[in-house]
Structure 1
Amino acid sequence: MTTRLMIRPTTPADQPLLERLWLLFRHDMSEISGALPDPSGQFRRERLDAAFTDPGWRGLVAHLEADGGAPAPVGFALVRGLDGPARVLSSFFVVRGARRDGVGRRLAAHALASFPGRWEIAFQDANVPAVRFWRGVATDAVGQAWTEEHRAVPGRPDLPPDTWICFTTATPTPA
């Protein structure tokens, strides 16, 4: 089977799609965070909403097309801080059926290339696949020119600190 990954910026028309993917993302993360849905079955979604309303945020959506069939949505990346000194990968998700085939690495690389400059990416040490993944993404992007530090989660002294990887991607030179 031949597959093709397509990644593009989100538009307002993508909001219903991202709302559905968001539930999958938050459900996956609930294993690490312990977060539970509210009485309506929804998880917190401030970051998702900001991606469609805040000018300093952008989203990317990934689709996988197999053998000319209809493209299937397989993930998203939400980036904030585009109006500040550092871009922050606020949320990142790839559906389980598309993992382990390089989709996540390609989506992450696309996000980094789309918004060159200073980057900060957080993850939780308890999420072992994320630890390996984000260290690999940073190394792919900048070799060993990245740092890692632990930062307390604001307003949540009950949680272990997040791990943050920081690096700077080069701005492409004009042709």
Structure 2
Amino acid sequence: MYEISVRLAQTTDRPTMERLWLLFRHDMSEFSGALPNPDGTYRRERLQAALSQDDWAPYLLTSGRSPVGLACVRGLTGPVRVLSSFFVVRAARRSGLGLRAVREVVAAHPGPWEIAFQDSNAGAVAFWRRVATELVGDAWTEEHRPVPGRPDLPPDTWISFDAPAGVGSAPPGRA
């Protein structure tokens, strides 16, 4: 089992976060059909927002000295927190690391949460339903919503739940 450290990404983590973002978007291209930009990168507006806007929180996931994933949360000052992006490298998947990371991120921001995923991503469907159940039992809902500005795509599936203070483990700190 991998050990996990979850911490808010710092300015010095930007290059690592950008590389993890490329891996994440590459994985997601299987479900979104998105091709890379001419320079080999993928759209990264959400990552840029997470790294620069006050209403966002970017998290770097590490195991020892190795970066193993990222999480980007938006809506910190609004009524609902949204796990906008979540990624764990393939070598660390199905180890329990992802669930432990989500617990820490959610614990840092108690209150209403929403998480979106695609039904065509069977791994994500099982993972996010398990996460919701582990965090709040059966006190979560699921609904389909159209992807804004993308009528060509199937609707996203959204899980919603209310994370009371103290759910998960202690909140991650700044390093």
What TM-score does the superposition give when structure 2 sets the normalisation length?
0.93
Q: Does 1:6 align with 2:19?
A: no
* Cα distance in 1 for residues equivalent to 2:117 and 2:163: 19
Counterpart in the other structure of 1:37: 36
Tell me how far 1:4 sits from its aligned partner. 2.5
Q: Does 1:171 align with 2:165?
A: yes
* Cα distance in 2 for residues equivalent to 1:63 and 1:165: 26
Higher relative contact order structure (alpha carbons within 8 Å, sequence separation ≥ 6)? 2
Counterpart in the other structure of 2:116: 122
What percentage of aligned pairs have identical amino acids?
59
* Cα distance in 2 for residues equivalent to 1:138 and 1:95: 21
Mapping for residues 15-34 of structure 1, pairs under 5 Å: 15-34=14-33
Q: Does 1:64 align with 2:58?
A: no
Contact persistence 2:110–2:162 (CA under 8 A): yes
Counterpart in the other structure of 1:139: 133
AA at the equivalent of 2:63: L
What TM-score does the superposition give when structure 1 sets the normalisation length?
0.93
* Cα distance in 2 for residues equivalent to 1:74 and 1:172: 25
Aligned pair partner of 1:102 in 96, 99, 102: 96
* Cα distance in 2 for residues equivalent to 1:144 and 1:21: 32
* Cα distance in 2 for residues equivalent to 1:59 and 1:152: 25
Q: Which has the larger radius of gyration?
A: 1
* Cα distance in 2 for residues equivalent to 1:60 and 1:169: 18
Q: CA RMSD in A?
A: 1.2
Tell me the secondary structure at the aligned position of residue 100 of structure 1: coil
Counterpart in the other structure of 1:162: 156
* Cα distance in 2 for residues equivalent to 1:6 and 1:54: 23
Tell me the secondary structure at the aligned position of residue 122 of structure 1: strand
Tell me how far 1:3 sits from its aligned partner. 4.5
AA at the equivalent of 1:147: T
The total of aligned residue pairs comes to 167
Contact persistence 2:81–2:113 (CA under 8 A): yes
4+ residue runs of structure 1 moved beyond 2 angstroms?
Answer: none
Instruction: In structure 2, list runs of 5 or more residues that go unmatched.
Output: 168-175
Counterpart in the other structure of 1:68: none
Instruction: In structure 1, list runs of 5 or more residues that go unmatched.
Output: 66-70
Tell me how far 1:12 sits from its aligned partner. 1.1
